[in-house]
A and B are shown apart, each in its own frame.
Chain A
Amino acid sequence: MEALIAIVIGVLTACGVYLALRGRTFPMVLGLTLMSYAVNLFLFVMGRLAIGTPPIIREGATYADPLPQALVLTAIVISFGMTAFVVILALRARAELGNDHVDGEEYPR
């Protein structure tokens, strides 16, 4: 399972970086979103992968680490807010600059 999750995080990050480096705001926002998904998954996995272990300490029972879950929740909320902000900003830039290029001007191909 660890290998699968690691591959998923890697692919998400790679796609995110590729899209974030594009010259248009929409793919760039998607790229940032993919990167934040990747990092949320990464944080979650940092508590180690285990099935059927509640985050409660009891005698004789194994338990899951609850802290990464709290961290992921915080990170999700923050990245959600930031994504909403950057979408609005991209729309405003599209309206004010007249195109959706990140530099605000079209370059001849």
Chain B
Amino acid sequence: MNHLVIAPLLLPLLAGTALLLLRSSDTPVRRSLSILATLVLVGLSLALLLHVAEHGVQVYQLGNWIAPFGIVLVADRLAVIMVLITSVLAACVVVYAARGSDHAGRYFHILFQMQLFGLNGAFLTGDLFNLFVFFEVLLIASYGLLLHGGGRKRTRAGLHYVVLNLVGSTLFLFAVGTLYGVLGTLNMADLAQRLSAVPPEDLGVVRAAGLLLFGVFALKAALAPLHLWLPGAYGHTSAPVAAMFAIMTKVGAYAILRVHSLMFGPDAGPLAGLLDTWLLPLALLTVVAGTFGVLASRRLSEQAAYLVIVSAGTLLTAFGLGGAEAFAAGLYYLTHTTFAAAALFLLAGVLGDVRGATQDRLVAGPALPSSQLLGGVFLLIALAVSGMPPLSGFIGKWLILQASLGQPDMLWVFGVLLVTSLLGIMALARSGSRLFFKIDETASASVPPRIGDLGAPLALVIAGIAMVIYAGPAYEFAQATADQLAQPGGYLAAVLQSVAAGGAQ
């Protein structure tokens, strides 16, 4: 067993615990510890990614209990790329937060590290009940982070978010319980094997459990019609938290992709393609509903929240198309959209600070100091988010459209994605002109920007630009990941080999 697999879980857990013990120490100590831990996490994730890319799927048996009796962590390509995206995003966000916005509460960094623990656990686990537990870990950390700083609107949005997710957790448990009751296992690889041989009389129950699971993940991924909680929660929280939450909808998308490809994939016999009927139409509906929100938003952070819904819809469109090519396109788009959405949230935070009392409302405000720099960064991020060439959003959308060529739903995908892209560009252009060109002389004075605050959003933009320059290798990795997903045989063999061998090594 390679202990590198569990490192991305242990590091944030230990860092969070250390921060809890050091909670009364000076702010610089806590900040530097949190930043250091996150930077080391980036290194560890990269090392794990390179290891998995070279040596194939890595399985870590917790307590050395052989699968399917014990809980396993499984690092396949999909899991490690998600862990790497999370840690890179977290590094940028924590640097931004350490410039002042973590000051509103003492527990920001503790909750932040625990959130990373939950996220990495959810990506790496190979056990359905363990997935539930890590979902709860990342959710309870996100509840604390969401409410960070306080305020009326934030409390109200937080209450809605917490209650919805508690109901979601209950449904998740019902689904897990049903699957265990019928199939007698919770290991995802073992579940996948047993699902292909479900006796016909149990098919209805298993189908209900599978769709219940899909409903829960759809709630996390903000798939229409379960997307209405997102704008309130993301639009009213602080900028670094909203930026970190850019990965949260992707956890839902990841879970859908995992279940869709592993448990209800083409080999699942009578249950193959259980989600096919629902995924693509709902994803396209999400894109449309999100775009209406983008057009109607009155604040930049609210607009960014609706853009997260649009990106979740686009992503699930790719996953809903099915097949290795569409999965690869979706994974490339997922990486791009996480960074781009986070950059937009961070920039909205900077602009909100600079514009004084006008905040990030999309109305005429005070004349901005160094508006060329701020406007330039906004232009770059808007280009990336809306999917205009030459930035990574264009390549992502182009790959998805290419993957839909020749599919029966091609016209729907092309129509919805192209029209909503145009509307998104219009909305962002309008926001930009209101933020930077329209000046209200009577508005309260602006605050000079702290140029350093732009470092984190710029780093995320540069990550996006790197994805354009190295689009070839990035797409090759995405394709290898998609091949692994489209043929779950390798995953199953890696997890269950210990049973065949008659024991742990």
The answer to whether the Cβ of A67 comes within 8 Å of any Cβ in the partner chain is yes
Q: Using CB atoms, name the residue of chain A closest to B147.
A: A89
Determine if B167 and A93 form an interchain contact, defined as CB atoms under 8 angstroms apart. no
Q: Chain B residues near A35 (CB, 8 Å)?
A: 167, 170
The answer to whether the Cβ of B198 comes within 8 Å of any Cβ in the partner chain is no
B156 partner, pick from A36, A39, A93, beta carbons under 8 A = A93
The 7 closest A-B pairs by CB, nearest first: A46-B181, A104-B156, A43-B177, A39-B173, A46-B177, A35-B170, A78-B136
Instruction: Tell me the complex Cα distance, A45–B158, Å.
Output: 34
Given contacts A89-B155, A103-B156, contact A20 B163 (CB under 8 A): yes
**Can you give 5 contacting A-B residue pairs, CB < 8 Å?**
A42-B174, A86-B166, A90-B159, A96-B150, A96-B155
- B interface, over-half SS: helix
A84-100 contact mask (Cβ, 8 Å, vs B): 1 or 0: 01100110110011000
Q: Chain A residues near B174 (CB, 8 Å)?
A: 39, 42
Instruction: Tell me the complex Cα distance, A75–B169, Å.
Output: 10
Number of interface residues of A (CB under 8 A): 32
Determine if A74 and B133 form an interchain contact, defined as CB atoms under 8 angstroms apart. yes
Give the interface residue-count category, chain B.
Answer: 20 to 34
Cβ of A14 to closest chain B Cβ, rounded Å: 13
The answer to whether the Cβ of A82 comes within 8 Å of any Cβ in the partner chain is yes
Determine if B167 and A82 form an interchain contact, defined as CB atoms under 8 angstroms apart. no
B117-135 contact mask (Cβ, 8 Å, vs A): 1 or 0: 0000000000001000100
Q: Using CB atoms, name the residue of chain A closest to B144.
A: A85
Q: Using CB atoms, name the residue of chain B closest to A16.
A: B170
The answer to whether the Cβ of B107 comes within 8 Å of any Cβ in the partner chain is no
A82 partner, pick from B136, B147, B150, B158, beta carbons under 8 A = B136
Instruction: Tell me the complex Cα distance, A30–B155, Å.
Output: 20
A53-78 contact mask (Cβ, 8 Å, vs B): 1 or 0: 00000000000000110010011001
Cβ of A57 to closest chain B Cβ, rounded Å: 12
Chain A residues packing against B (C-beta within 8 Å): 20, 25, 28, 32, 35-36, 38-39, 42-43, 45-46, 67-68, 71, 74-75, 78-79, 81-82, 85-86, 89-90, 92-93, 96-97, 102-104
The answer to whether the Cβ of B140 comes within 8 Å of any Cβ in the partner chain is yes
Determine if B159 and A25 form an interchain contact, defined as CB atoms under 8 angstroms apart. yes
Determine if B159 and A81 form an interchain contact, defined as CB atoms under 8 angstroms apart. no
Q: Chain B residues near A38 (CB, 8 Å)?
A: 170
Instruction: Tell me the complex Cα distance, A72–B156, Å.
Output: 31
Instruction: Tell me the complex Cα distance, A79–B133, Å.
Output: 11
Determine if B180 and A67 form an interchain contact, defined as CB atoms under 8 angstroms apart. yes
Q: Chain B residues near A71 (CB, 8 Å)?
A: 129, 176-177, 180
The answer to whether the Cβ of B55 comes within 8 Å of any Cβ in the partner chain is no
Instruction: Tell me the complex Cα distance, A47–B468, Å.
Output: 52
Instruction: Tell me the complex Cα distance, A39–B133, Å.
Output: 15
Q: Chain A residues near B178 (CB, 8 Å)?
A: 46
Q: Using CB atoms, name the residue of chain B closest to A102.
A: B159
New contact pairs (18) apart from A36-B166, A67-B180, CB-CB < 8 Å: A20-B167, A35-B167, A39-B170, A43-B173, A43-B176, A43-B177, A45-B181, A46-B181, A71-B180, A75-B173, A78-B136, A81-B140, A82-B169, A85-B143, A90-B159, A96-B155, A97-B155, A102-B159
Which B172-213 residues have a C-beta within 8 angstroms of A? Answer: 173-174, 176-178, 180-181, 186
Determine if B159 and A93 form an interchain contact, defined as CB atoms under 8 angstroms apart. yes
